[in-house]
Structure 1
Amino acid sequence: MSTETSRLARLTESLGLDADNEWPSVVRERLISYGLLGVYVFVVWFPIYYILITSFKPTSEVLSLPITFFPHDATIQNYVDIFNNRPFELYTFNSLVVASTTTVIVVTLGTLSGYTFSRYDFLGNKALLLSIIAARMIPPIALIVPFFQIMSQPPLIGGITGSLYDTRIALILTYTFFNLPFAVWIMKNYFDGVPESLDEQAKVDGCSTWEGFVKIILPVAKPGIAATAILAFIFSWNEFVFALVLTSSEQAQTLPIAVSLFVADDFVDWAHLAAGGMIAALPGILFGLFFQRYIVSGLTQGAVKE
């Protein structure tokens, strides 16, 4: 008993607490904190867990009552079926091409534009930046009809016939339009947090503006670039409404559209819907688990300026 008492006394002293007055409040605060954390984890992760276990259930078990929270007869047949019965590999390829290409374009233009807005005080700087950000604030649903009409018309480029409707290019251009303002905003704020003395030091070392940007500034801006790339990729990968409106064939449709095909007017194929949903959600889950520090660092760097 004396040993436990001495341990408690040492712990109390190390934390700077009063054993008689402060311990109850500390314990209470910890219990509340852990309780709220547990509720948050449950709310966030339980839907993902339930979709995961549903994807391994046979259809008979999915539709049976009472609901089970662990598959009794686990099977991977649902995953096999969606690739055998539908061109899921083509849908996945389309999503990869569209999301990756959009990410490259958005990161490149967003980084260059963000650096320009951060470092150069040209005429109309603030007005142009605000107009770019304002474009992102327009509800996407309000632009569906204009985008559909634009993509359905032949491009105004000599020698090119046909429209961009039902092509991956239509989705890439659309997603770039919506993601680029966000990328410019992130990178502008990030470069605001990078000391301008680095640019001056690069010039002292004999670097041109471009060389200083590539060799000195870009390596420092890696967290911001990573955050921009991850978010642009996830937004493009998960987008559904424009993919539904601007595509009509398997040659251009992406994974969110493929998953929605398991929902019919009079029936929902829950088992295959869960399997397809897990495949579609996997990149977002992996990015969130393994690259969250880059996302947080990239989004918060501009909050502190020197």
Structure 2
Amino acid sequence: MPGAEPAPGQAHVDQAIEWLVQLRYNTPTVPAEQAFGRWLDQHPHNALAWAQVQAMSEEFSSLPRELSRRTLEGTQRRSISRRDSLKLLGLLGAAGTLGWVGREPLGLPTLLADKHTATGERRTFHNNDGSVIQLNTASAIDLRFAADLRALSLIQGEVSIDTGNDPRPLRVTTRDGVLQTQGSQLLVRERTDGTLLAVRQGSVTLYPGNGTAPRIARPGEQLLYSANGQVGPAVTHADPWGWREGVLSVQRMPLGEFIAELSRYRPGVLRCAEAVAGLKVFGTYQLADTDQILALVAEALPIRIDYRTRYWVSVSPA
């Protein structure tokens, strides 16, 4: 569309924050849910702004309830200047919710990143050094190549990297630690309980946070590491590499976990009732159509899918 903004503007972000406050701190009513759905439908950038704010809202989860509410409401009342962003970053960092310097709230670094994807989007980048980088949904990275080192920073989300045959090592900076590798294939994903590292080829040296001794990850290994230095085998019910082929492949994944995973690939709200959250999901599903995935799961399990709007979907007992 001629003259359209390339990304959500400040007004869209402000409105998304206001909706986040309403939906998180008040019991949603049917009229409120309907109004939220209408707002999402009004403009494509509303849905994009909501996805960005929702993705970054985890940064507020460890703050005291009233403090996080006042913080969100305060940012909604005015445009967020660079100075305001740094103040908010300091507040979040003091609360222990940010793992590394330079990360700002409300998805701002995502929009400014060297490479990024929107919710539901996956992109592949073939670089001049021979490396191939794939970004999963709602992800962002920065790249810095020098004469003796290639550096990648995972700002948000999930990235798969084939380092190629370039003799320079690749250093990957994440929220919870640093990775260094050469001639390998690896995958890195931010999770709420830490950062997932999966290795398909070659070896990767992991330097966890908190000064913990480095750990070598080898082909076939999946490790979960955190900023406090903890490192251990990652427990997963899905093929971590599946999204590179556009699929979500799971084995005995609890439905609640499956719905949370699926929600990464679609904007809006996707909720699962506790009564059915423990049901097990099997199979391989095409990520290109998340509505079809929900329909297929509903055929296999005793559940129903309720669409209050296109962006507000609930999963409950049949």
Q: When the two structures are superposed, what TM-score results if normalisation uses the length of structure 1?
A: 0.21
Task: Name the structure with the higher strand share.
Answer: 2
Relative to the length of structure 2, the TM-score reads 0.20
Answer 1 or 2: which has greater helix percent. Answer: 1
